[in-house]
Amino acid sequence: MSSKPEQKTILLAVSSSIAIYKSCELCRRLKERGANVYVAMTENAQKLVSPILFESLSGNAVITGMFSNSRQPVPISHISLSHVIDLFIIAPATANLIAKSACGIADDWITTSLLATTAPVLWAPAMNPQMYTNPATQKNIQILSERGHHFIGPFIGTTACGEVGQGRMAELEIILEKIDILLTKNKNLTGKKVLITSGPTQEPIDPVRYISNRSSGKMGRELALEAIKRGAEVTVVSGPSVEKLPYHSNSVYVQTAQEMYEQVLKLFPECDVFIASAAVADYSVIKPLEHKKKRTDEALLLELTPNPDILGEMGKRKNEKQIVIGFAAETNNLIENAKEKLRNKNLDLIVVNKVGGEKCAFGSEFAYATIITPDGIENEPSLTPKRELVQKLYDKIEELLKKKEAI
């Protein structure tokens, strides 16, 4: 099972940048997920924000220096803490701190602990764009990356000094996603390519109207995130969705079923696992109107044509090593209907979920669902958080991959 930050001990080292306000929120979000968070601050960071704020947010004494007159949550904390933490995050990270760490300098609590730690280290730099692109900073980042440290950002935008360029600290959602990846121990999908369809498609009627459905893209996002956490390279072909795709996936955006089909056709030969979670519109308008249709009192007939069956086509094309997985969104006869799709579309597995009800399928965090393979039903359908369903699905996918590799 993948790790969750809620059971983890995280050290958040804070250096002095205006982006420090984001670190306060990062500390809060990590606590909210159940992590035990220790915060260490450089002397300059303490001039921007009082340690009392981080103490209140983390619930632990904040480390403000090396010696006994400074605050320490545990004795000899630069050694004892750096050995027990699951992750060492430096956010915001200044050019100075990166430079000192690259040279192995240990002249304060944070740099000393960085030398002593065996935990994964994640840097979220924030600085003036010139300082970031300076060859000295770039070389220091390269040195640390080669030693196995991880970097997230900085991103392009307007920095506190008013300059536009690459210097803004990564947004929290992106940092949190990276933390989830680093904290997941199961990397059994490393080297595997997972291709996912997600969200609805939109089939134009005229320039302002379309045929579509209620898929939010939540299921596709969870599918992508879990595969990324387990080490896979993930590509998502997504229709226009409410949910954002993970930062760490390759994202291909489409509008219609035909466009989704064309993209999947291109990407499918390279993938090891194809998962069709998109709610593809089964029909499109034969000739969408060039101009906006004006209202009249007459009935309006739309002539529709069937869209390509993306999943069915990939089921036909798969080779003996590839795994093809479908979803079935059903209102009734869940198991029988899903089994029929499993057979007709030549699938290795199908996830059936019930449509309707307050917490079900479209737009919900939950699915009333089960997994079916040609060998039978995993268990009776039950209401499950999509995140948990997806974890079970990948456990099954790992089993199937092992079987196929043994052939």
Helix and strand counts by DSSP (H, E) for the chain: 14, 20
- The single residue among 90, 279, 323, 390 that binds ligand PMT, judged by CB under 6 A, is 279
- Partnered with residue 253 across adjacent β-strands are 238
Cα–Cα distance, 377 to 229 (Å, whole number): 26
Cα–Cα distance, 168 to 161 (Å, whole number): 11
* Residue 219 binds to ligand PMT (criterion: CB under 6 A): yes
* Residue 370 binds to ligand PMT (criterion: CB under 6 A): no
Cα–Cα distance, 147 to 389 (Å, whole number): 36
In 321-359, which positions are buried (b, 16+ CB within 10 angstroms) versus exposed (e)?
ebbbbbbbbbeeebeebbbebbeebebbbbbbbbbeeee
* Residue 182 binds to ligand PMT (criterion: CB under 6 A): no
Closest distance to ligand PMT from the beta carbon of 276 (Å): 4
The residue among 14 and 219 lying less far from ligand PMT, judged by its C-beta, is: 219
- Window contacting ligand PMT (CB under 6 A); options: 7-15, 17-25, 166-174, 214-222: 214-222
- The single residue among 259, 262, 309, 398 that binds ligand PMT, judged by CB under 6 A, is 309
Number of chain residues interacting with ligand PMT (CB under 6 A): 28
* Residue 155 binds to ligand PMT (criterion: CB under 6 A): no
Cα–Cα distance, 383 to 386 (Å, whole number): 9
DSSP string, 214-262: ---SHHHHHHHHHHHHTT-EEEEEE-S-SSPPPTTSEEEE--SHHHHHH
Strands 209-211 and 203-206: antiparallel
- Window contacting ligand PMT (CB under 6 A); options: 92-100, 184-192, 324-332, 392-400: 324-332
* Residue 311 binds to ligand PMT (criterion: CB under 6 A): yes
Q: 282: which 2 tokens?
A: 């089964």
Contacts of 104 (CB under 8 A, 6+ apart): 115
Question: Binding mask 238-277 vs ligand PMT (x if CB under 6 A, - otherwise)?
Answer: -------------------x------------------xx
Question: Binding mask 78-117 vs ligand PMT (x if CB under 6 A, - otherwise)?
Answer: ----------------------------------------
Closest distance to ligand PMT from the beta carbon of 307 (Å): 5
User: What does the angle CA 139 – CA 140 – CA 145 come to, to the nearest 5 degrees?
Assistant: 95
DSSP string, 105-148: ---SHHHHHHHH--S-EEEEE---HHHHHSHHHHHHHHHHHHTT
Cα–Cα distance, 398 to 330 (Å, whole number): 26
Binding to ligand PMT in span 338-367, by CB under 6 A: 341, 353, 361-363, 367
* Residue 39 binds to ligand PMT (criterion: CB under 6 A): no
- Partnered with residue 395 across adjacent β-strands are none
Q: Which of 24, 27, 103, 161 is catalytic?
A: 161
The verdict on whether 103 is a catalytic residue reads no
- The single residue among 328, 371, 372, 393 that binds ligand PMT, judged by CB under 6 A, is 328
Count Cα atoms within 13 angstroms, Cβ side, for 362.
14
Cα–Cα distance, 211 to 220 (Å, whole number): 20
- The single residue among 125, 129, 167, 217 that binds ligand PMT, judged by CB under 6 A, is 217
* Residue 13 binds to ligand PMT (criterion: CB under 6 A): no
Closest distance to ligand PMT from the beta carbon of 13 (Å): 37
Closest distance to ligand PMT from the beta carbon of 360 (Å): 8
Closest distance to ligand PMT from the beta carbon of 255 (Å): 14
- Partnered with residue 252 across adjacent β-strands are 237
- The single residue among 26, 121, 181, 310 that binds ligand PMT, judged by CB under 6 A, is 310
* Residue 196 binds to ligand PMT (criterion: CB under 6 A): no
- Window contacting ligand PMT (CB under 6 A); options: 126-134, 167-175, 289-297, 303-311: 303-311
The residue among 197 and 384 lying less far from ligand PMT, judged by its C-beta, is: 197
Closest distance to ligand PMT from the beta carbon of 236 (Å): 12
47: left (phi over 0), alpha (psi -120 to 50) or beta: alpha
Catalogue the active-site residues.
161
List of residues contacting ligand PMT (CB under 6 A):
197, 199, 215-219, 257, 276-280, 282, 307, 309-311, 326-329, 341, 353, 361-363, 367
